[in-house]
Amino acid sequence: MEAPTSSVQRPTFAVQCPIPISEYPIVTLAHGGGGRLTQMLIERMFVPAFAPQGEASRNLALEMLHDGAILQTDGAARLAFSTDSFVVSPRFFPGGDIGSLAVHGTVNDLAMCGARPLALSVGFILEEGLPMDELWRIVQSLAAAAKCAGVNVVTGDTKVVERGKADGIYINTAGIGVIPAGVDIAPRRAQAGDLVLINGPIAQHGIAIMSVREGLAFETAVESDSAALHGLVGSILDCAGDRVHVLRDPTRGGVSSTLNEIAGQAHIGIQLNEASIPIDEQVRGACEILGLDPLYVANEGKCLAIVAREAGEAVLAALRDHPLGRGAAIIGEVVADHPGKVVLRSRIGGRRIVDMLSGEQLPRIC
C-alpha cells in the first residue's frame, strides 16, 4: 500500500465557475439531454475539474470522452469502466423497463469500448412509498437482463429519500469489462474513407417512451430496442479485428448528436446517406406526428460502427447474421471535407448540416 495521501486539510476554491452564470444561472433539463449543453458541462466543467495536475498524468481516460474509460492495471488486462444513471419515465414501457435498461445501458457502454462485460454494480435511490412489489418487478427484470447478458451484479447500494424527493426509483449502474488484446476502439481512429454502419432501424426507444407518455396508439405497439450489444460487438470484432475503428451507441441525442461528437473528437467529417438509414414506417409516422427528427431520437439497442472501408461488407454481413443486427445497413462514410461536421445527403439529393441536438428534446428518456 502507498503512503498516506489523505489528510484533513480543506481545499479552498478561488476559480470562477467555467459555465457563464449570467447565461446559465441554473441547471436545466437540457443539461442532461445529451446535446450541446450536456457537452458544455462535460467539456468546460467536468474535464478540467477532474484532470489531475502534473504534466505526466493528464486524465486521458476522461478526456477521451468515450462511453467508458480504459484503464491499464498492474496485471496484463486492459479494463473498461463505465457508469450511467437511469431516471426513465415511465418506469415500464413497451419492450423494457428501468431495470433492464439499467443493465443494457452500462453493458453497451462497455461494449462500445470493445470490452467483454465482467461485473456490474447497482445503486438504487428509492422514494419512500414505492410499492414493494414494483421494486421486486424491477429487481427481477434487472437480474434477468444481467443473466441474459452473462454479467454478474456483484455489489450494490440502496438509499431511500422522503416522499416527493425522487420519482419512485432511480438506478445507477457501473460496469467493469475486459478488453481483449488487439482491440483498439477510439474516436481518434476514424479516418477518411471509413464506412459508417448501424445494426438496425433508429429511434425506436424514444418513440416507445413517447408513445406511452403521449397516449399514442399504433396498429402494433412500437417497442423499445433496449438490448445488450456486447455479443453483437463480439461478432464485429471477430470478423474485422482492429479494422473496427470506432463504436458508439446513439442514446440520448440520437444518431446525429453521437456522430457529431465523434466528428468533433476525431476532427473528421461524416457524410450520411438519408435513404440508407433504416427506420420503421410506424416510427417514422410517430416522429411526424410528434414533430421529432428521428436522427435526434434516442436508441438503446443500436450501435454505430466506423470501420475500415475494406472491412465494410464483411462487418455488414456479420451484423445481419446476428439476431440484433438483422436490419443493419451502411449509412455513410468518413470524409476529409468539413471536419467536425456531419452532412446529410437527402433522398432528393440536397445536402444539409446535421447538427448536435440543442436544447432538450425528450427529458428522462433513459
What sign has the CA pseudo-torsion 213, 91, 254, 260?
A: positive
Q: How far is the CB of 188 from a copy of itself (least distance, A)?
A: 17
Q: Which stretch binds a copy of itself (CB under 8 A): 36-44, 203-211, 291-299, 347-355?
A: 36-44
The Cα-based distances of 179 to 68, 89, 99, 230, 311 in angstroms read 12, 33, 25, 11, 21
Q: Measure the CA–CA gap between 329 and 332, rounded to whole angstroms.
A: 9
Q: How far is the CB of 336 from a copy of itself (least distance, A)?
A: 31
CB-nearer residue toward a copy of itself: 130 or 342? 130
- Whose cell is 438503446? That residue is 300
**DSSP letter, residue 310:** G
The interface mask with a copy of itself, positions 317-336, x = CB under 8 A, is -----xxx------------
Q: Which of 55, 56, 132, 347 binds a copy of itself (CB under 8 A)?
A: 132
Q: Which residues within the stretch 236-295 sit at the binding site for a copy of itself (CB under 8 A)?
A: 237-238
Q: Which stretch binds a copy of itself (CB under 8 A): 138-146, 255-263, 265-273, 349-357?
A: 138-146
Q: How far is the CB of 246 from a copy of itself (least distance, A)?
A: 17
Residues 6+ apart with CB under 8 A from 361: 33, 35, 292, 296, 297
Q: How far is the CB of 40 from a copy of itself (least distance, A)?
A: 11
Question: Does residue number 90 form part of the binding site for a copy of itself (CB under 8 A)?
Answer: no
Burial of 355 (0-12, 13-18, 19+ CB in 10 A): middle
Question: Does residue number 79 form part of the binding site for a copy of itself (CB under 8 A)?
Answer: yes
Question: Does residue number 101 form part of the binding site for a copy of itself (CB under 8 A)?
Answer: no
Question: Does residue number 351 form part of the binding site for a copy of itself (CB under 8 A)?
Answer: no
The Cα-based distances of 226 to 91, 259, 278 in angstroms read 13, 20, 17
Cell of 127: 422514494
Question: Does residue number 87 form part of the binding site for a copy of itself (CB under 8 A)?
Answer: yes
Question: C-alpha dihedral over 343, 345, 349, 352, to 10 degrees?
Answer: -30
The interface mask with a copy of itself, positions 162-181, x = CB under 8 A, is x-xxxx--x-x-x-x-x-x-
Q: Which of 43, 92, 148, 191 binds a copy of itself (CB under 8 A)?
A: 148
Q: How far is the CB of 201 from a copy of itself (least distance, A)?
A: 13
For 161, how many CA atoms within 13 A lie in the half-sphere containing its CB? 11
